[in-house]
């Protein structure tokens, strides 16, 4: 039942959706100046070696990989990025009591910066805003560790145990946090509308959340510039920029204009 750009369909069921679970991907943050790693102009597309260097095995084994990673974290566009209109729209949806959960594949923390509650945001790929020790699990705010990098430590060890530290994100070859994943699956199964925005839906298990939602009776709406493998399953597909389309859908849902 593929309906590309189906305003009538959206007007039929968006206003009645009471428990909306949203899944966001890189496409929601590109308007904030954060490049999409997998998109046509993405970092990995331009430099394939960057992807090979981002496996957990390489990170643990090779200090030069860790030095590069710390330089790249320090220079990340995330620190100067501001949330955009799409992030803000999801804050409105939460404040109206209509947001079941906000699952994100992003590690930039922009949903919380925009005002989304920690209790609503499920970061399935972790967050860049914290550092974790791979030996003792100590967590430290990223700015504290980046201050050490700026002061000359090119691979800052854990202050407690001396272990290797990394951003609290899921690297290639690293398992997702089971509790976080369980929370995401529960949120997908217990919504009446599942809205995927700015994600190509090609990375599992995030993409499979669409199936979980549909199998449990939710409507499925997809906003993404390119096709996704779940378009055929969706009630509506909007191949438009997330930055203007997501706020428009939230306005329709909340009855504040379309």
- Of the pair 162, 205, the CB lying nearest Zn ion is at 162
Is residue 136 close enough to count as binding Zn ion by CB under 5 A? yes
Would residue 125 show up in a list of annotated catalytic residues for this protein? yes
210 is in an annotated binding site: no
- 134 near Zn ion (CB under 5 A): no
Q: Is 135 in the site for Zn ion (CB under 5 A)?
A: yes
From the list 44-52, 66-74, 154-162, 178-186, the region that binds Zn ion by CB under 5 A is: 154-162
Query: Which of 47, 82, 154, 160 forms a contact with Zn ion (CB under 5 A)?
Result: 160
Contacts of 72 (CB under 8 A, 6+ apart): none
Q: What's the CA gap between 58 and 3, in Å, rounded? A: 44
Out of 39, 115, 163, 241, the only residue in the binding site for Zn ion (CB under 5 A) is: 163
Using alpha carbons, select from 6, 45, 14, 8 the residue that is nearest to residue 200. Answer: 45
| 191 assigned to a ligand binding site | no
DSSP state of 39: S
**Does 64 engage in binding with Zn ion (CB under 5 A)?**
no
Which of 245, 224, 195 is CA-nearest to residue 27? 224
How far, rounded to the nearest angstrom, does the alpha carbon of residue 116 sit from its chain's CA centroid? 13
Minimum separation from the CB atom of position 170 to Zn ion (A):
19
| Complex with Zn ion: residue 133 or 213, whichever CB lies closer | 133
- The 8-class DSSP code of residue 55 comes to B
* Helix, strand, coil % in the chain, rounded to nearest 5: 40, 20, 40
> How many CB atoms within 10 Å of residue 135?
14
Stretch touching Zn ion by CB under 5 A, among 28-36, 156-164, 223-231, 249-257 = 156-164
Is position 158 an interface residue for Zn ion (rule: CB under 5 A)?
A: yes
Catalytic residue positions? 125
By the criterion CB under 5 A, which residues form the site for Zn ion?
133, 135-136, 138, 158, 160-161, 163
């Amino acid at each position: 039942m593929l309906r590309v750009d189906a305003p009538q369909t959206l007007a039929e069921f968006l206003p009645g959706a009471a428990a909306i679970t949203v899944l966001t991907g890189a496409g929601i943050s590109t308007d904030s100046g954060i490049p999409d790693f997998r998109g046509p102009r993405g970092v990995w597309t331009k430099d394939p070696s960057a992807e090979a260097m981002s496996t957990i095995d390489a990170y643990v084994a090779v200090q030069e990989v860790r030095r590069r990673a710390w330089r790249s974290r320090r220079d990340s566009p995330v620190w100067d990025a501001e949330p955009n209109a799409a992030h803000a729209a999801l804050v409105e949806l939460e404040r109206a009591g209509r947001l079941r959960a906000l699952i994100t594949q992003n590690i930039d923390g922009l949903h919380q910066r925009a005002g989304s509650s920690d209790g609503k945001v499920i970061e399935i790929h972790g967050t860049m805003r914290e550092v974790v020790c791979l030996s003792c699990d100590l967590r430290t705010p990223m700015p504290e560790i980046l201050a050490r990098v700026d002061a000359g430590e090119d691979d800052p060890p854990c202050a407690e145990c001396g272990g290797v530290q990394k951003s609290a994100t899921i690297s290639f070859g690293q398992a997702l946090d089971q509790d976080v994943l369980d929370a995401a699956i529960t949120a997908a199964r217990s919504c009446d509308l599942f809205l995927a925005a700015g994600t190509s839906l090609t990375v599992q298990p995030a993409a499979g959340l669409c199936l979980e939602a549909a199998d449990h009776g939710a409507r499925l709406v997809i906003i993404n510039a390119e096709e996704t493998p779940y378009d055929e399953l969706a009630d509506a597909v909007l191949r438009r920029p997330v930055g203007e389309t997501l706020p428009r859908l939230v306005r329709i849902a909340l009855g504040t204009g379309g």
